[in-house]
Amino acid sequence: MTAIGKAVLGMTLAAMAATATATPSRADDPPMHQVRYVITAANPIWADIYYLDQQPPKYSDYSHNPYQYTPNVQADIGPGHPWTSPPVLLSDPNNYAMVVVSTGTEPGTPMFHCALVVDGAVVKSNDGAKGTLCSLRNW
């Protein structure tokens, strides 16, 4: 990851930590975790991003219709211009938190970096020349 990417990621994480709030829950509800996805690129690109924005009741629901749970976002990403997801609340981020980014049909090699942030801590990051995936689960 480049120094610019690390600096942008650091600033983004600091801003997210400053705005993080606890989610109240009932005693019988599983604890919810705040998840954010961050995508940076060393070179400017119009990117295709899919991220899990809601946890399905059971995995087979996701398996039968993944696009119900993973919206597509197209974003202009470059040095100093990351994409950060809105907060996503998941009870099981180990199995469901996921973001994938690619160049889609755009030419170029942006050198993507993704970060998976759970409860304010980066738990997974990855790099890829034309695309990358951040997830704690092996898909």
pLDDT tens digits for range 74-99: 999 999 999 999 999 999 999 999 99
What is the Cα–Cα distance from 128 to 101, expressed in whole angstroms? 9
Of 16-20, 100-104, 122-126, least confident by mean pLDDT is: 16-20
What's the pLDDT score for residue 82?
98
Domains and CATH numbers, the chain: 3-20+33-135 (2.60.60)
Cβ atoms < 10 Å from Cβ of 125? 17
Nearest to 49 by CA among 108, 107, 114: 114
Contact call for residues 101 and 134 (beta carbons, < 8 A) = no
Nearest to 113 by CA among 123, 100, 104, 97: 100
What is the Cα–Cα distance from 102 to 41, expressed in whole angstroms? 11
CA dihedral over 138, 74, 125, 84, signed as positive or negative: negative
pTM: 0.79
- Maximal CA-CA distance, the chain: 51
What is the Cα–Cα distance from 133 to 111, expressed in whole angstroms? 13
Q: Does the pLDDT of residue 32 top 60, yes or no?
A: yes
